[in-house]
Structure 1
Amino acid sequence: MKLSKFLFLLLFVLSASVTFAQSSTELKRKKEAIQREIELLQRNLNKTANNKKLTLGQINALNKKISLMQDKITVINSEIKNLDNQIHENTNTVINLKGQLGQLKKEYGAMIRFAQRNKNAYDKMMFIFAAKDFNQAYKRIKYLQQFGQYRKKQASYIQGTQKELNYKIVILDKNLKEKSNLLHEQENEKDKLGKNKNQQSAVLNKYSKQEKKFRQDIASRKKQQAQLDRSIRAAIVREIELERKRAEAAAKAAAAKAAAAAAAKAKAENRPAPATPAAVAKPKANSSGYLAATPEAAKLSAAFESNRGSLPWPVTAGSITESFGKHKEGQASYNNAGVTIQTAEGAGVRAVFNGKVSKVGNALGRYYVLIKHGQFFTVYQNLRSVSVSAGDDVSTKQNIGTVASSGDIPELQFQIYRGAVAQNPAAWIAK
């Protein structure tokens, strides 16, 4: 029973350690990912430190950096909480193991004292010969043999328990040191956060002094962005209309072929030709379903949709500094049809899924690429250079160009459309 209890306790301790390790590893991975984003944003901010002119990219980068620092502190708090739980479990385990070790040593001491009292062979022989019959004598011999074996097992249990106790004490010391390091890291991050909030206040103060000019710049930029988005949607609508016409032409050709076959059959059978069928119904205009009219396009659409939430990022490293949807800057409001991703200078831009390049355009001295994936489209704006042309087939993660800088900050405007309806890219790309 004591052995089974010991084994159960050992199994519990090991399983708890594995669970903690998995959770701890996940938190460390998350913390490292956040730190990479913070460092990328800081590098971009360093490049604009001497700029007298304030840009929206700078404000977005600073705001996102502060948000990420707060996230990092939250992750550190979770790590500390996990360690506290582990320290509590390990402390209880050490106490239990010490109790078991004391009990085992006490029982082993009693056995040693008994063995000392009956250590010579004469006493053992007298113990056997004092039996009242042969059966009892045999049992006494077996008892002496089993007693010796049990004493050896008890010694082995003591050694095993002592070894496990020493191991848990080492782990406990390691937990305490790690907690001390995390508390120190937490204080450092809080100090950095305070300094960045002071920097944010300075930027807002600078913004208030340049507010009129800043708002005019943003309004002008967003007006240009809105015009570009409208032209992209118009290109998508034209693509849909083109597919509708193709579907209509295919339906007419199929109907004409069927009518000709029916007329030929009637003539061969020497009977009147069938009546001309009614005109083929025209497909509805602007129906994105016609983008997936062919089996190949339908398969591509289904594959794209099945990857919702796991599409690769259009850049290998980046941070979303402006989210999808409506935004307000002062009294002005504007709509972001995608997400703005800040990345490294000269970063390569890649297709997020297999498809065909529908259009490569130029606006405001920058390029954009429109890629068709069945009834879905992805848009990559603010490119310094492109390496694909309209009509090219592209594969997932294939490089299509390099990102340009907006106000010295490298930014990619990334959009996803289902037909002509904008989608939130953050819901489609991997977390």
Structure 2
Amino acid sequence: MDKLSKHIIPALSLILLILAFSVANAQSKKQLEQKKKKLQQEISYTNKLLKKAQKNRQASLNELIKLNKKISTRQELVNTINHEIKILNLQIIQKQALIKSLENDLNNLKSEYANMIYAAYKHHNDYEKLAYIFSSKDFNQAYKRLKYLQQYAEYRKKQAQAIIETKEKLQKEVAELEQKKQEKQNLLLEKTEETNILSKEKTTQEKTITQLQQQERELRKKLKDAQRQARRLDDAIQKIIAEEIKKARENKKATSKGSKGFPMTPEALKLSNSFAANKGKLPWPVEKGIITGKFGEQPHPVLKEVIVKNNGIDISTEKGADVRAVYNGEVSSVVIIPGAGKVVMVRHGEYLTVYSYLSEVYVKKGDKVTIKQPLGKLVKDSSKPDSKMHFEIWKGMTKLNPAYWIYK
């Protein structure tokens, strides 16, 4: 192995190793940038809804819920920026290591090349080259000496080219390092700005909670009303599911069974499997919105030691917005629940999606619906700046978290 290979192979190994890290980091960086963009859009939309809510002089629970959502989203944005900074720090370290390696290679190549030029100048003028060849014992030796001189000249050319390429690579890496440092500086400034806004929002949050705590009696009354509505809806859904199971069992065509013996026709089974395969990819039941009520048991945002149970998710959206089907299916039922408005239930094989707080319904029981087809319009409450919808997903008699099913 010649001297040139000794310097080039280790450098190539380092470059390939760093390139592998760089590709992984580039993919991760792209994902983080997409996530950051989505979080910024969510913050912007939440801010729009929050400004409408703040027009009312008296602090409201509706306002606090949106403020809490904005704070959690902005915190996630700050965390994403921190992650980006960590990736950039790693990339900067990698670039610095590569630059140091290239500088060492360049110095070694230049040193060797200088020695070669000096040796060529001292010993290899044209006369000495000819004398070296003609002093050979035989033709075979003369040929070998001639080839050696040719290879030596070629090696010098390669050495010179290696110096040029290494210098260009070094200049490129230095420029990219400066770019990475600038990107890091920009992210640090963005992080500082977002952290300052977050601090102000938390101060507003504390003031809003203090104001709302003075309205505890009214809040407890609203909570009881909401719990009563949830029980009515839950009872209605379970009753409808039980009736459907009974009816399906009487259907001789229902040969397949889902969870807990839910009978299905082959067509219903196919639809059920298709629905399940789209977990995490279903469209939102409204075109625009933010989740302001999470699934399951959550602490009340104001009332201490009070746990609120939610069988689905609550979504705040534009006032009177259209509600749409999240997947192909058949309208199972349309009912009216006091306090929850009109409710549309759509069957997708073993799965059931539930859409509440509608003032107007565009479909009827038995209608076939397609993905994103409008089902109705949300209730407009004159005392609120936006509309709220309640969305549930059931599998048989089991309640599922809709946040895991809709597209993120």
Distance 1:233 1:140 in 2: 97
Distance 1:344 1:350 in 2: 14
Deviations 1:95-117 (A, max 9, x none): 00000011011111111112222
Which piece of structure 1 moves more, 345-354 or 207-216? 345-354
In the TM superposition, residue 122 of structure 1 has moved relative to its aligned partner by 1.8
**Secondary structure in 2 matching 1:370:** strand
User: Cα gap change, 1:237/1:151 in structure 2, threshold over 3 Å: closer, same or farther?
Assistant: same
Name 2:227's counterpart in structure 1. 222
In the TM superposition, residue 290 of structure 1 has moved relative to its aligned partner by 4.3
Distance 2:320 2:122 in 1: 87
1:71 aligns with 2:46: no
Distance 1:333 1:58 in 2: 19
Equivalent of residue 261 in structure 2, options 285, 289, 293: 289
The percentage of counterpart residues that share the same residue type is 40
In the TM superposition, residue 328 of structure 1 has moved relative to its aligned partner by 4.3
In the TM superposition, residue 211 of structure 1 has moved relative to its aligned partner by 1.9
Deviations 1:176-222 (A, max 9, x none): 00110111111111101100001101111110222222222232233
**Secondary structure in 2 matching 1:382:** strand
| Cα-Cα RMSD | 2.4
The 5 Å alignment of 1:411-430 reads 411-430=388-407
Distance 1:245 1:288 in 2: 16
1:397 aligns with 2:372: yes
Name 1:186's counterpart in structure 2. 191
In the TM superposition, residue 346 of structure 1 has moved relative to its aligned partner by 5.0
The 5 Å alignment of 1:93-242 reads 93-118=98-123, 120-242=125-247
Equivalent residue letter for 2:227: K
**1:57–1:409 contact (8 Å) kept in structure 2:** no
In the TM superposition, residue 404 of structure 1 has moved relative to its aligned partner by 4.1
Distance 1:148 1:87 in 2: 39
Equivalent residue letter for 2:315: I
**1:385–1:401 contact (8 Å) kept in structure 2:** yes
Name 1:387's counterpart in structure 2. 362
User: Cα gap change, 1:346/1:175 in structure 2, threshold over 3 Å: closer, same or farther?
Assistant: farther
1:50 aligns with 2:55: yes
Equivalent residue letter for 1:398: Q
**Secondary structure in 2 matching 1:242:** helix
**1:324–1:338 contact (8 Å) kept in structure 2:** yes
In the TM superposition, residue 345 of structure 1 has moved relative to its aligned partner by 4.3
Name 1:273's counterpart in structure 2. none
User: Cα gap change, 1:402/1:173 in structure 2, threshold over 3 Å: closer, same or farther?
Assistant: farther
Equivalent residue letter for 1:414: F
**1:40–1:343 contact (8 Å) kept in structure 2:** no
User: Cα gap change, 1:121/1:181 in structure 2, threshold over 3 Å: closer, same or farther?
Assistant: same
Distance 1:166 1:345 in 2: 57
1:6 aligns with 2:11: yes
**1:291–1:374 contact (8 Å) kept in structure 2:** no
Name 1:370's counterpart in structure 2. 345
Deviations 1:256-293 (A, max 9, x none): xxxxxxxxxxxxxxxxxxxxxxxxxxxxxxx963441x
1:360 aligns with 2:365: no
* TM-score after normalising by structure 1: 0.84
Equivalent residue letter for 1:46: K
Aligned length: 393
Name 1:409's counterpart in structure 2. 386
**2:290–2:317 contact (8 Å) kept in structure 1:** yes
Which piece of structure 1 moves more, 6-15 or 172-181? 6-15
In the TM superposition, residue 357 of structure 1 has moved relative to its aligned partner by 0.8
Equivalent of residue 290 in structure 2, options 307, 312, 319: 319
**1:354–1:396 contact (8 Å) kept in structure 2:** yes
**Secondary structure in 2 matching 1:128:** helix
1:336 aligns with 2:341: no
User: Cα gap change, 1:376/1:135 in structure 2, threshold over 3 Å: closer, same or farther?
Assistant: same
Equivalent of residue 302 in structure 1, options 245, 248, 273: 273
Structure whose CA Rg is larger: 1
Deviations 1:95-145 (A, max 9, x none): 000000110111111111122224642222122223333222212211111
**Secondary structure in 2 matching 1:396:** coil
Distance 1:405 1:118 in 2: 97
Equivalent residue letter for 1:390: K
Equivalent residue letter for 1:399: P
Distance 1:142 1:345 in 2: 87
Distance 1:103 1:187 in 2: 44
Name 2:88's counterpart in structure 1. 83
Distance 2:260 2:63 in 1: 38
Name 1:259's counterpart in structure 2. none
**2:340–2:356 contact (8 Å) kept in structure 1:** no
Equivalent residue letter for 2:277: S
**1:56–1:218 contact (8 Å) kept in structure 2:** no
In the TM superposition, residue 403 of structure 1 has moved relative to its aligned partner by 3.9
**Secondary structure in 1 matching 2:333:** strand
In the TM superposition, residue 164 of structure 1 has moved relative to its aligned partner by 0.9
